[in-house]
Every structure is written in C-alpha cells, then in structure tokens.
C-alpha cells in the first residue's frame, strides 16, 4: 500500500513520518491516567506497610501472635503463605503482596481488553488499521504500552522496599514478580481479546483466569498435598519465589516464559483472524428475546442481569471460601486463647468467633459492592456518551425516569450481590459444621449497604454534574474510604481524618448490633447525593 510510485515527494515525507510511534502514543494516552494511579497505589501501599513494620514488631507479644496465627492453614489460605515475617520486607510481602498482585492483574486485564478489543469493537480501529500499520504491529505497540504499567509498578515496589532498607535480593525478587504477574495478565487478556469478538467475554475469560489462578494458590496454600498447584498458578509462582526467604528466580523465569508464550499465542491468533472478528465467531442471527424490553425500567434490569451474574459468581465464590475456612480459623484460636489475645493486638481483632471473623470480612465486601455500583453507573454514562441512549432520550421519557431506572436496577442488583455473598458465607460455615445462622450472615452483609449506598450516591451525583469522573468518584466512598482508614491508622493521623472514612463508623456486624445512627446518617447523605445528582442530570446537556 505505497504511494511511492505515484509521487516521489510523498515518499520523502513518508521517510520522516513514524506511524508506529504515533500508534504507541495513542495507546499510551489511553492508559496513562489509570496507569499512574495504579503505580502510585502500588508504591504507596507498599511504603505504608513497610513503614508500619517496626511499630508492629516493637511489641514481641504481638509479633509472636502474628507468627503463630500465620501458621494456621486457613489464614494461609486467605492471606497467602507467611514467609519471612521477621523482616520488614517479608512482612510487607505477606500483608499486601497478594492484594497488590490481584489489583495489578485486574487493572492489566481491564486496560488491555479496553484499549484493544474495546477499541476494535467500537469501530475506531477500522480507521487505524486502514493506515500503514498492520494489526499485529498495532497490537504489539498497545500491549507494550499496557505492560509498561506493571513493569513500572514492580519497579516502584523494588525502589520503595530498597528505600526502607530491606534486602536487595528480596526487593528485586518481589518487584520483578509483581511486574511479571501484571505482564502475564496483559498477555492473557491480549489472547482472550483475539479469541472473542467482543470486549465483555474477552474480559470475562481473562478475569476467570485470575480467579482460577488465585483459587489454585489458595488451595495449594491450604492443602499441603496439593502444594504442586502453585506451579500452575501465576499467584502460586509469585509465592514460590519466596521474596526475602528463598529468593528463588526459577518461578519468575517460568512466569516470564508463560507470559511470553501467551503473548506469542495472542499475536499468532491476531494474524489468523479478521478485524472486528475473533477466533470464536459471534452468532449471526437469533430469534428475538423480548423479555424485559417493555419499559426503560425493565431494560435497565435486563442490562444488569449478566454483569450481576458474573460479579455474584466471583464474590460469592470468595465468600464461600471464607465460610468454609471460618470454622478452622476460629477453632484454632479458641484452642489458643493466649494466641487469640495476641492476634487481637496484631490487628486481627475478635478472630475467636465466626461472628468476629465474618464481621471483619463482611466490612471489606463494601469495596467490591461499591466497585460494582461505580461500574454500572459508568456503563450508563458510557451509553450516553456513545449515543446508545439517544433513542430512549428522544422518547417520551423524562431524564429522571431514565436515570432513575438505572439507579433502581443498580441498587437492586447490589442488594442481590451482597445477599448472595452472605448466603455463600453461611452455606460454607454450615457445610463445615460451624455455629452461624443465616440471619447473622445476612444482617452482617446488609450492614455494609449504607456504605455501598454512599458509593451509589456519589456515582449518581457525578453522573449529574461531572460525568467523566463517574468511575473514580463512584468508588471513592468505598475503596477510597477503606484506604483512608488503613492509611490513617498506619500513620496515626488525627481522629477526624480517620472519621472521614465511612468504615470508621461501620459496626462489626454480626459480632455486635448494627449502628443505627451511623447507618441512617450514611443513607441520608446518600439520598442527598442522589437528589443533587438527579437535579444536575435534569439540567445538563446530554453528552453525545
């Protein structure tokens, strides 16, 4: 496709133009904001935890309790194997290594499918690929742009750990492992984006790989005979590398090879398919399914059902696992009252009863639930931005009803989501013969609904006044609030800073009764935010 034969002057101009670099710049533009946040979070959280190590370990009793607790199979299953808790580096790896790895993996998957399959699906790549850069090159340059983020995050981890004076080899192994894990999931998402013709199943398949990988590691950690499962899971390989203890390189090399093979597979698949198609063909025609297409409210419910099913499987699976391990954790501590006391000093309060264990873990349910709410309102804004909403907005439907249908469907869906998490926990405890009623489980999970309501309120408010920010602001009360609490407690910030976090006002239900006042205040604030958001949405121009 050269115009060189036609015009020599064009050739001269072409020689100096760099279409490949322009594609890279395009890809970087699409990931730079999220990428910077991810790198800052990874480095920041690592720094916070590494900084608190001295404080925790200053109390020998707390340190001993922590060490003993970490030996419990169930705790190993949830937090990962505690290796090298006697150093600041090892402690940091254990406390937040898995959390950061999962966050990085999730971001890598979402960003990769968004800027590759998502852009292609929307038709924006048609123009790009009509240019001189072929699909494979476009893909390589996009993958490089996304992969730069986990590499930067891993480098940040290493730099922070070195800055806190931890062992060089350990910080290098941990940083490299974190980076490689992210890169591996960039490759996985790239592959699923070639297999499936649309973004949603591509993302779903890659997220499933994260889930299965985590599960394999958890089972490998909890069941000694199945320890070999570690070798099959990227998270397991990360554990096998043993930063600050064994400092093994072989698992990381394996992870690198896996990432490279997957990436090569993705590029090979890209060469074997048509643009806008996947290796799996989408069904060309089907009979109409008219259920829930009778009103905007019904349609809002219809659109939330599939995402709800996906989130319910993921979150329900995690809470089922918590239920299954709760008896073991509490039994272990009940047999060692002194240890339970020391565990409490180390920040694991009330781990001696199922109600205590679940209350702690139900609180963090607010984060994925708030994320779900933010993502759903983000999808509503996206439908407005790319004009899918236009035909409904041109119908005899008020703006309030249009967004109200979405708010109601989202609120209903998130209630189902947390109820499913509570039911799964109860089922897990019941199967293992624990003493835990369904009512306790449900009051526990429903207790986080006011915080989730704050997220919904924030998302609706931003949809009305600054729709670009719906994803970030929607997650602020839950994920931001939780981080604020953790940070405030870690750096002993003034009480009012800590009190800004809604989690500071969350009663540990079912261990104690719900705090009616706090719940009412949160729901009140949420209602005010929703009303203000509705007012803004009614007044503003639709984006299109």
Partner 1 sequence: MSQYALRAAGLTKRYGRLTALDDLTLDVPAGEVFGFLGPNGAGKSTTIRLLLGLARPTAGQAWIFGTEAADVVRAHRMLAYVPADVALWPQLTGAEILHLQAQTGPGTDLAYRDELVERFALDPSKPARTYSTGNRQKVALIAAFATRAPLLVLDEPTSGLDPLMEREFRAAVGQARDHGQTVFLSSHQLAEVEAVCDRVGILRTGRLVEVATIDRLRGLHRSEVTVVYRGAAPGLSAVPGVETVEATGESRLRFTLTGSPAPALRALAAADVTALTVREPSLEEIFLDFYGTGAVR
Q: Interface with partner 1 by CB under 8 A: which residues?
A: 121, 198, 282-290, 293-296, 299, 383, 386-388, 390-399, 539-542, 544
Closer residue to partner 1 (CB): 139 or 296? 296
Q: How far is the CB of 383 from partner 1 (least distance, A)?
A: 8
Q: How far is the CB of 294 from partner 1 (least distance, A)?
A: 5
Closer residue to partner 1 (CB): 121 or 406? 121
> In this structure, how many other beta carbons lie within 10 angstroms of the beta carbon of residue 349?
15
Closer residue to partner 1 (CB): 181 or 301? 301
Q: How far is the CB of 269 from partner 1 (least distance, A)?
A: 20
How far is the C-alpha of 179 from the C-alpha of 252, rounded, in Å?
10
Quick check: 428 and 402 in contact, CB under 8 A?
Answer: no
Torsion angle of C-alpha atoms 161, 164, 169, 172, degrees rounded to 10: 20
How far is the C-alpha of 111 from the C-alpha of 189, rounded, in Å?
9
How far is the C-alpha of 524 from the C-alpha of 451, rounded, in Å?
11
Closer residue to partner 1 (CB): 397 or 514? 397
Q: How far is the CB of 297 from partner 1 (least distance, A)?
A: 10
Q: How far is the CB of 332 from partner 1 (least distance, A)?
A: 48
Q: How far is the CB of 28 from partner 1 (least distance, A)?
A: 27
| φ, ψ of residue 286 in degrees (nearest 5) | -155, 165
Q: How far is the CB of 285 from partner 1 (least distance, A)?
A: 4
Closer residue to partner 1 (CB): 514 or 542? 542
Distances (CA, A) of 443 to 262, 362, 403, 439, 503: 44, 10, 29, 6, 16
Residues 6+ apart with CB under 8 A from 531: none
Q: How far is the CB of 197 from partner 1 (least distance, A)?
A: 8
> In this structure, how many other beta carbons lie within 10 angstroms of the beta carbon of residue 535?
14
Catalogue the long-range contacts made by 427-432 (C-beta closer than 8 Å, 24 or more residues apart): 427/320, 427/323, 428/319, 428/320, 428/321, 428/322, 428/323, 428/324, 428/325, 428/326, 429/323, 429/324, 429/326, 429/327, 429/354, 429/358, 430/323, 431/323, 431/324, 432/323, 432/324, 432/326, 432/327, 432/328
Q: What is the torsional sign of CA 499, 493, 43, 84?
A: negative
Closer residue to partner 1 (CB): 8 or 395? 395
Closer residue to partner 1 (CB): 395 or 433? 395
How far is the C-alpha of 146 from the C-alpha of 138, rounded, in Å?
13
Q: How far is the CB of 143 from partner 1 (least distance, A)?
A: 24
Torsion angle of C-alpha atoms 91, 47, 498, 506, degrees rounded to 10: -50
Q: Of 50, 58, 59, give the one whose Cα is nearest residue 84.
A: 50
Closer residue to partner 1 (CB): 350 or 384? 384
Q: Of 382, 248, 454, 332, give the one whose Cα is nearest residue 78.
A: 332
Q: How far is the CB of 394 from partner 1 (least distance, A)?
A: 4
- Does residue 232 come out as left (phi exceeding 0), alpha (psi in the -120 to 50 range) or beta? alpha
- Does residue 305 come out as left (phi exceeding 0), alpha (psi in the -120 to 50 range) or beta? alpha
Closer residue to partner 1 (CB): 279 or 500? 279
Q: How far is the CB of 530 from partner 1 (least distance, A)?
A: 20
Closer residue to partner 1 (CB): 395 or 495? 395
Closer residue to partner 1 (CB): 129 or 393? 393
């Amino acid at each position: 496709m050269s115009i060189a034969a036609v015009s020599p002057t064009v050739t001269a101009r072409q020689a100096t133009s760099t279409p490949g670099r322009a594609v890279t710049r395009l890809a970087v533009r699409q990931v730079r904001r999220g990428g910077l946040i991810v790198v800052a979070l990874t480095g920041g959280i690592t720094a916070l935890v590494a900084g608190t190590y001295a404080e925790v370990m200053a109390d020998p009793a707390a340190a001993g309790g922590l060490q003993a607790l970490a030996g419990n199979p169930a705790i190993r299953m949830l937090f990962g194997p505690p290796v090298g808790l006697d150093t600041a580096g090892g402690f940091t790896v254990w406390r937040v290594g898995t959390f950061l790895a999962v966050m990085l993996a999730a971001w890598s998957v979402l960003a990769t499918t968004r800027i590759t399959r998502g852009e292609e699906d929307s038709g924006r790549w048609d123009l790009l690929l009509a240019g001189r850069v072929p699909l494979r090159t476009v893909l390589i340059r996009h993958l490089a742009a996304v992969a730069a983020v986990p590499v930067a995050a891993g480098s940040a981890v290493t730099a922070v750990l070195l800055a806190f004076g931890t062992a060089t080899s350990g910080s290098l192994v941990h940083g490299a492992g974190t980076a490689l894990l992210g890169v591996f999931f960039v490759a996985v998402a790239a592959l699923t984006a070639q297999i499936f013709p649309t973004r949603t199943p591509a993302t779903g398949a890659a997220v499933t790989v994260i889930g299965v990988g985590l599960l394999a590691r958890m089972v490998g950690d909890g069941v000694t005979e199945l320890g070999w499962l570690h070798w099959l899971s990227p998270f397991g390989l990360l554990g096998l590398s043993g930063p600050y203890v064994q400092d093994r390189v072989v698992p990381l090399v394996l992870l690198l090879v896996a990432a490279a093979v997957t990436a090569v597979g993705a590029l090979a698949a890209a060469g074997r398919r048509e643009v806008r198609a996947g290796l799996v063909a989408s069904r060309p025609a089907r009979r109409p399914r008219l259920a829930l297409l009778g009103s905007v409210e019904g349609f809002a419910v219809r659109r939330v059902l599939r995402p709800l099913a996906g989130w319910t499987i993921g979150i329900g699976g995690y809470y089922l696992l918590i239920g299954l391990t709760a008896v073991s954790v509490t039994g272990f501590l009940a047999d060692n009252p002194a240890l339970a006391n020391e565990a409490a000093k180390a920040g694991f309060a009330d781990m001696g009863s199922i109600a205590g264990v679940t209350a702690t873990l139900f609180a963090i349910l607010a984060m994925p639930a708030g994320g779900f709410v933010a993502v759903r309102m983000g999808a509503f804004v996206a439908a407005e931005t790319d004009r899918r909403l236009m035909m409904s907005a041109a119908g005899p439907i008020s703006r309030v009803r249009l967004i109200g249908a979405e708010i109601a469907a989202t609120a209903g869906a998130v209630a189902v989501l947390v109820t499913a998490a509570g039911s799964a926990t109860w089922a897990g405890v019941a199967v293992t013969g624990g003493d835990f009623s369904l009512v306790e489980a449900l009051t526990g999970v429903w207790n986080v609904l006011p915080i989730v309501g704050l997220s919904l309120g924030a998302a609706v408010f931003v949809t009305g006044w600054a729709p670009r920010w719906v994803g970030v602001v929607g997650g602020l009360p839950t994920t931001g609030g939780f981080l604020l609490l953790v940070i405030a407690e870690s750096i002993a910030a003034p009480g009012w800073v800590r009190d800004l976090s809604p989690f500071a006002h969350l009663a540990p239900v079912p261990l104690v009764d719900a705090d009616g006042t706090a719940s009412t205040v949160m729901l009140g604030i949420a209602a005010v935010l929703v009303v203000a958001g509705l007012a803004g949405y009614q007044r503003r121009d639709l984006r299109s």
